């Protein structure tokens, strides 16, 4: 793999795994992925498993991510989790603006930008998700949507914060559907996102930011996707729930 950006592969477990199941999974991943140094590896369990998973991966090459966080500091926000609470469990990354949050919890680009800023405020690295729906793609609006989301969801970040931010391009029509973007579609979207970043920030930032692809990543398509010039990793949903499939995705990407 001959890219100057280090690949980052993250498992988004979504609303799955009890604590016991989470420990089984992460202990298996720890064992299988022990020797992997070429890729940054992140697991994003549900909040309820963060504490135990954090302890289980202390002496490993796995890093911990959360799936969401509040844009607010601690206070009267029932049901929410603040960045400082994630820090307690040595969380390093936090997914913000996943399409399921945008869709089911009405998160806007402005809210997502506030979450990304709050994450940086607590020295957490946000993984900011963007991506078009099927309708938007079919009506020729993919680039417009991506540009709007990049500008809106990253608004207010400094250049140095942007370099520490991971973007995830996740076409909504490819998430959990078994329908992956083709290599051409993925590369075109990633290259476009990088051009928008160059315009908003600068060429150096655009060259340094890692952009993951997400949406039905599987062991069988990981190699091709990860070899694309502007694809710097994967955000994996369904296939991150089993030791074998996540391990194979990582190994096929190296």
Sign of CA dihedral 17, 54, 153, 205: negative
Closest CA to 234 of 167, 147, 150: 167
Under the binding rule (CB under 6 A), the answer on residue 46 touching ligand PGA is no
Under the binding rule (CB under 6 A), the answer on residue 39 touching ligand PGA is no
Q: What are residue 96's phi and psi, to 5 degrees?
A: -130, 145
Under the binding rule (CB under 6 A), the answer on residue 40 touching ligand PGA is no
One residue of 8, 9, 12, 83 binding ligand PGA per CB under 6 A: 12
CA 113 from centroid of its chain's CA atoms: 15
From the list 25-33, 58-66, 169-177, 222-230, the region that binds ligand PGA by CB under 6 A is 169-177
Provide, rounded to whole angstroms, the least separation between the CB of residue 133 and ligand PGA: 14
Number of residues that bind ligand PGA (CB under 6 A): 13
Under the binding rule (CB under 6 A), the answer on residue 229 touching ligand PGA is no
Please tell me the distance from the alpha carbon of residue 162 to that of residue 156, in angstroms, as a whole number: 10
One residue of 70, 214, 225, 226 binding ligand PGA per CB under 6 A: 214
98 is catalytic: yes
Please tell me the distance from the alpha carbon of residue 131 to that of residue 98, in angstroms, as a whole number: 9
Residues 136-155 that bind ligand PGA (CB under 6 A): none
DSSP symbol at 73: P
Q: What are residue 63's phi and psi, to 5 degrees?
A: -115, 155
Q: Tell me the two tokens of residue 46.
A: 């549900």
One residue of 170, 181, 197, 245 binding ligand PGA per CB under 6 A: 170
One residue of 136, 237, 245, 246 binding ligand PGA per CB under 6 A: 237
Closest CA to 166 of 103, 124, 227, 131: 124
Which position among 71, 100, 170, 190 bears the catalytic label?
A: 170
Under the binding rule (CB under 6 A), the answer on residue 238 touching ligand PGA is yes
Which position among 71, 98, 107, 136 bears the catalytic label?
A: 98
Q: Tell me the two tokens of residue 17.
A: 């795994």
190 is catalytic: no
Q: Please, which residue, 127 or 205, has the CB nearer to ligand PGA?
A: 127
Q: Please, which residue, 91 or 217, has the CB nearer to ligand PGA?
A: 217
Q: Please, which residue, 40 or 201, has the CB nearer to ligand PGA?
A: 40
Please tell me the distance from the alpha carbon of residue 103 to that of residue 44, in angstroms, as a whole number: 20
Please tell me the distance from the alpha carbon of residue 147 to that of residue 136, in angstroms, as a whole number: 13
Where in the sequence numbering do the catalytic residues fall? Answer: 98, 170
């Amino acid at each position: 793999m001959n890219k100057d950006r280090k690949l980052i592969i993250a498992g988004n477990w979504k609303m799955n795994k009890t604590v016991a199941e989470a420990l089984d999974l992460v202990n298996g991943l720890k064992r299988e992925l022990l020797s992997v140094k070429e890729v940054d590896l992140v697991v994003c369990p549900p909040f309820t498993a963060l504490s135990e998973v954090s302890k289980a991966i202390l002496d490993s090459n796995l890093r911990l991510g959360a799936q969401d966080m509040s844009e607010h500091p601690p206070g009267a926000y029932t049901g929410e989790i603040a960045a400082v609470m994630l820090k307690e469990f040595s969380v390093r990354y936090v997914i913000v603006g996943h399409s399921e949050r945008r869709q089911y919890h009405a998160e806007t680009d402005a809210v997502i930008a506030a979450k990304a800023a709050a994450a940086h405020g607590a020295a957490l690295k946000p993984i900011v998700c963007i991506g078009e729906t099927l309708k938007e793609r079919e009506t020729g609006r993919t680039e417009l949507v991506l540009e709007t989301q990049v500008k809106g969801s990253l608004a207010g970040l400094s250049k140095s914060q942007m370099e520490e931010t991971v973007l995830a391009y996740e076409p909504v029509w490819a998430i959990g559907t078994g329908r992956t973007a083709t290599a051409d579609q993925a590369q075109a979207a990633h290259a476009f996102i990088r051009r928008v970043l160059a315009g908003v920030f600068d060429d150096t930032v655009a060259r340094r930011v890692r952009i993951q692809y997400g949406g039905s990543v599987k062991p069988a398509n990981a190699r091709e996707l990860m070899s694309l010039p502007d694809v710097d990793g994967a955000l994996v949903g369904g296939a991150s729930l089993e030791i074998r499939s996540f391990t194979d995705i990582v190994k096929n990407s190296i």
